Amino acid sequence: MSVSLRNHSLPPKSFSLTLLLLLNSLLFSSCYSLLNEQGQALLAWKNSLNSTADALASWNPSSPSPCNWFGVSCNLHGEVVEINLKSVNLQGSLPSNFQALRSLKILALSTANITGRIPKEIGDCKELTFIDLSGNSLFGEIPEEICRLSKLQTLALHANFLEGNIPSIIGNLSSLVNLTLYDNKFSGEIPKSIGSLTELQVLRVGGNTNIKGEVPWEIGNCTNLVVLGLAETSISGNLPSSIGMLKRIQTIAIYTTLLSGSIPEEIGKCSELQNLYLYQNSISGSIPSQIGELSKLQNLLLWQNNIVGTIPEELGSCTQLEVIDISENLLTGSIPTSFGKLSNLQGLQLSVNKLSGIIPPEITNCTSLTQLEVDNNAIFGEIPPTIGNLRSLTLFFAWQNKLSGKIPDSLSQCQDLQALDLSYNNLTGPVPKQLFGLRNLTKLLLLSNDLSGSIPPEIGNCTSLYRLRLNHNRLSGTVPSEITNLKNLNFLDVSSNHLVGEIPPTLSRCQNLEFLDLHSNGLIGSVPNNLPKNLQLIDLSDNKLTGELSHSIGSLTELAKLNLGKNQLRGSIPAEILSCSKLQLLDLGNNSFSGEIPKEVAQIPSLEIVLNLSCNQFSGEIPPQFSGLRKLEVLDLSHNKLSGKLDALSDLQNLVLLNVSFNDFTGELANTPFFRKLPLSDLTGNDGLYIVGVATPKEAKGHARLFMKITLSILLSISAALVLLTVLVLIRAHVSNKVLMRNNNWVLTLYQKFELSVDDIVRNLTSSNVIGTGSSGVVYKVTVPNGQTVAVKKMWSSAESGAFTSEIQTLSSIRHKNIIKLLG
């Protein structure tokens, strides 16, 4: 040692540090070498991970064996047989050195933030019985080497990003009991070798939308199968008849696929079947009566298919049934009375079919029923008066049928009822006041019936009510003030009835109200000053409301649609309307509003659907701010006393409909395609308003000249007198036409409702359309775009405007069956 020190020039501190590092290195190497091969492989895997989790803190190189490490279990021989790190945030890939883990039986790494591919070396762990790598971010294909694991009983790879085909040799996993591959990106077909898995109990491959082909017939060989899940794939073709060989099957879930054909009768042999989910497919044919043999069936979901025929009475023998949903099919016939034997039935959905007949009274024996949906059929007759026996009922939909009679009072006994929709039927009589004692009722929809009587004041007791629609009936009386007790009310529609009286001034108490529709009644009084602040739609049109619109309208900042048309409202539009910044539709037409249109109306930023101010007494000019309504689609200012020019409207390119008729507008209308195509009925009644015409294209002039030359050359062979006369007429018409082509300014005045534009007339005033001449001008035959034919007279010269005026005055004053109507 002394020689070593003398031969090195290291200072004493550096030597001490070097010696310490050397000792630590030797100590670490010594500890690491204590670990057996399995421990070293696991420790190498740990070091490859990015995890900062404390869960692997016990994985220490100083341990002689990994058997005491977290998540690691060994057998009596000290061999690692289990790695269970599920729900540990590992952040890395799977171990690649599986050769050191030859005795491994269980590998559970679900939801462990594992990425990368499944290494093919996993096939070396011949003792593996359980692999769960679900809920990770694995990608790539399943290595075929995994199919060498003959002892494997569970393979759970669901909820990853695995792709490619399911290995065709999957049938080699002869001990497999559970195979879950759902929610990945697998493609291809279900291998026929799946039929070799005679021990298989669970097969779930759903959620792989690129899995295609048919359900293999060989699936029937998996006689121990309990769960078959192929939902949300592109599986097509028929359900094989071999399905009847699955005597132990409890759940068949093949919904939202491309399955077609009929349900095989052999399904009745699946004696243990509890759940049959075949909805959202293209299944046709009828429901096999053999389903009635499934005594343990609990859920039958066949909705949204193309199933025809009648509902088999035999279904009433499936006394364990809890849910039947066969809605959205093409079923006919009546609802089986045998359903009355289904005492465990909780949900019965028969909506959107072609069912007829009555609602059988026997159905009220199903006292466990919570949901009854028979809407969108052709069911007639009365609602069974014993409907109140269904004390557990929470939802009853029977809308869009042919039901008649009264609404049974006994419905009030269904104290758990939350939603009742009997709309679009022929129900008569009053709305039972007992209904409003249902404290859990949130939706009551009775629209489009023939109900009469008044809205009972007891409505105020139905405090959970969220949506109330009684529109399109024959209800009379007033809107009860008790309705303002409904603090949860969001949607109120009692339009198209015979209601009278005033709108309850305390309606503002319904603070959650967003939709208020009272149109087409006989309501009087004024629009309430205080309305619920959350209102998004107000329709009070077609009533008898009077008074002025309150300045408080500006407090409705959530309002999107306001329709007060067809009332007797007066005064001016309050400038506070600008605060309704979300307003898209404003209809104040057919009232008695007066004064100028406030500029604030045009400054509402969201006004883009309709602005209707027609049939009022507005005066003054259109505010220049109207030019900012670039998104507006419909503008109606007709039948007012407005004046000035329409320049503010010239740039409204999004307009679909514009009506400014019967005002005092003057000046030139914008020369744009939209304004040129406007029906003249939407412009009439403005004496000083004129439209700019468009010159005929040069090509049309050239064609006209060519035609003239040809015509003249032919006419030279005719008698001199006729030639001279014809030439005189045509030359004058040609000269007139040239003048016409040079003139771009035309004033069109209409006397009748007729849809044509200046372009429609001018482009047809050519010599080929001449049908006669007179002392004052030439008459042309013109066919307008709608197919109608009109006669147009062009005066010889402006000097004869007096004759023209005289002729117009005469025609406009004569009414006779043999004199054509003067259009303009």
Q: What is the pLDDT of residue 369?
A: 98
Please check whether residue 42 lies inside any domain of the structure.
no
> Where does 521-613 have alpha helices with state H?
599-602
Q: Label the pairing between strands 777-783 and 789-795.
A: antiparallel
The residue assigned the tokens 């000035």 is 644
Gap between the Cα atoms of 572 and 587, Å rounded: 14
Poorest-confidence range of 45-49, 307-311, 810-814? 810-814
Yes or no: say if 411 and 433 are a contact pair by the CB < 8 Å rule.
no
Please check whether residue 475 lies inside any domain of the structure.
no
> What are the backbone angles phi and psi of residue 618, rounded to the nearest 5°?
-65, 145
Q: What is the pLDDT of residue 672?
A: 84
The average pLDDT across 486-506 equals 97
Poorest-confidence range of 246-260, 377-391, 721-735? 721-735
Decide if pLDDT at 4 tops 70.
Answer: no
DSSP string over 502-541 = EPPGGGGG-TT--EEE--SSEEES---S---TT--EEE--
Torsion 296-299-301-307 (CA) sign: positive
Q: pLDDT digit string (tens) for 772-787?
A: 554 455 566 788 777 7
Decide if pLDDT at 802 tops 90.
Answer: no
DSSP string over 212-272 = ESBPPGGGGG-TT--EEE--SS--EEPPPGGGGG-TT--EEE--SSEEEEPPPGGGGG-TT
Confidence of residue 722 (pLDDT cuts 50, 70, 90): low
Q: pLDDT digit string (tens) for 293-347?
A: 999 999 999 999 999 999 999 999 999 999 999 999 999 999 999 999 999 999 9
Q: What is the pLDDT of residue 16?
A: 35
The average pLDDT across 514-536 equals 97
Poorest-confidence range of 125-134, 647-656, 722-731? 722-731
Q: pLDDT digit string (tens) for 243-263?
A: 999 999 999 999 999 999 999
> What does the mean pLDDT of the chain come to?
87
Poorest-confidence range of 21-25, 111-115, 774-778? 21-25
Q: What is the pLDDT of residue 754?
A: 56
Please check whether residue 777 lies inside any domain of the structure.
yes
The average pLDDT across 729-751 equals 48
Q: pLDDT digit string (tens) for 410-419?
A: 999 999 999 9
Yes or no: say if 235 and 262 are a contact pair by the CB < 8 Å rule.
no
The average pLDDT across 71-92 equals 95
Q: What is the pLDDT of residue 701?
A: 37
Of 454, 498, 492, nearest in space to 472 by CA: 498
Q: Which residue has the higher pLDDT, 778 or 161?
A: 161
Decide if pLDDT at 711 tops 80.
Answer: no
The average pLDDT across 444-455 equals 98
**One-letter amino acid of 739:** V
Please check whether residue 793 lies inside any domain of the structure.
yes
Poorest-confidence range of 139-143, 154-158, 432-436, 805-809? 805-809
Q: What is the pLDDT of residue 77?
A: 92
Q: What is the pLDDT of residue 215?
A: 98
DSSP string over 481-503 = GGGGG-TT--EEE--SS--EEEP
Please check whether residue 808 lies inside any domain of the structure.
yes
How far CA 276 is from CA of 262, 299, 326, 447, 654, in Å, comes to: 14, 6, 12, 36, 53
Please check whether residue 393 lies inside any domain of the structure.
no
Poorest-confidence range of 124-128, 222-226, 536-540, 800-804? 800-804
**In the chain, what percentage of residues exceed pLDDT 90?**
75
Q: What is the pLDDT of residue 787?
A: 73
Which pair of structure tokens corresponds to residue 639? Answer: 């039948």
Q: What is the pLDDT of residue 26?
A: 34
How far CA 548 is from CA of 537, 538, 623, 682, in Å, comes to: 19, 16, 22, 29
- The verdict on whether residue 794 carries a ligand-binding annotation is yes
Q: What is the pLDDT of residue 733?
A: 45
Yes or no: say if 193 and 171 are a contact pair by the CB < 8 Å rule.
yes
Yes or no: say if 514 and 467 are a contact pair by the CB < 8 Å rule.
no
Decide if pLDDT at 73 tops 70.
Answer: yes
Q: Which residue has the higher pLDDT, 3 or 713?
A: 713
Yes or no: say if 85 and 106 are a contact pair by the CB < 8 Å rule.
no
C-beta pairs of 36-41 under 8 Å, 24+ apart in sequence: 36/64, 36/65, 36/66, 36/78, 37/100, 38/66, 38/79, 38/80, 38/100, 38/101, 39/63, 39/65, 39/66, 40/100, 41/95, 41/97, 41/100, 41/101
All residues at 6 or more sequence positions from 488 whose CB lies less than 8 Å from its CB, including other chains: 442, 463, 464, 465, 466, 512
SS3 562: strand
Q: What is the pLDDT of residue 756?
A: 67
Poorest-confidence range of 12-26, 160-174, 553-567? 12-26
Gap between the Cα atoms of 62 and 34, Å rounded: 7
Gap between the Cα atoms of 134 and 259, Å rounded: 28
Confidence of residue 747 (pLDDT cuts 50, 70, 90): low
The residue assigned the tokens 């069936």 is 297
The average pLDDT across 369-375 equals 98
**How many degrees, rounded to 5, is the angle at CA 46 between CA 40 and CA 50?**
160
> What are the backbone angles phi and psi of residue 590, rounded to the nearest 5°?
60, 50
Gap between the Cα atoms of 464 and 441, Å rounded: 6
Please check whether residue 471 lies inside any domain of the structure.
no
Q: Label the pairing between strands 770-773 and 777-783.
A: antiparallel
Q: What is the pLDDT of residue 750?
A: 58
Torsion 750-756-759-765 (CA) sign: negative
Q: What is the pLDDT of residue 713?
A: 53
Judged on CB neighbours under 10 Å (0-12, 13-18, 19+), 197 is buried
DSSP string over 413-457 = G-TT--EEE--SSEEEEPPPGGGGG-TT--EEE--SSEE-SB--G
Decide if pLDDT at 1 tops 70.
Answer: no
Gap between the Cα atoms of 514 and 491, Å rounded: 6
Q: What is the pLDDT of residue 350?
A: 98
Q: What is the pLDDT of residue 653?
A: 86
- Please state the three-class secondary structure of 732-776 as a single string: HHHHHHHHHHHCCCCCCCCCCCCCCCHHHHHCCCCHHHEEEECCC
Poorest-confidence range of 192-206, 448-462, 643-657, 762-776? 762-776
Poorest-confidence range of 48-62, 215-229, 295-309, 597-611? 48-62
Q: pLDDT digit string (tens) for 669-710?
A: 888 888 888 898 999 999 898 875 533 223 333 433 444 454
Q: What is the pLDDT of residue 693?
A: 53
Of 166, 164, 284, 182, nearest in space to 231 by CA: 182
Domain count, the chain: 1
Please check whether residue 276 lies inside any domain of the structure.
no
Decide if pLDDT at 665 tops 90.
Answer: yes
Residue 2 CA, chain-centre distance (Å), reads 90
- Count CA atoms closer than 13 A to 393's CA, side-chain side: 27
Gap between the Cα atoms of 403 and 376, Å rounded: 11
Q: Which residue has the higher pLDDT, 776 or 15?
A: 776
Q: What is the CATH number of the domain that holds 774?
A: 3.30.200.20
User: 786: domain range?
Assistant: 754-823
pTM: predicted TM-score of the whole model, two decimal places: 0.77
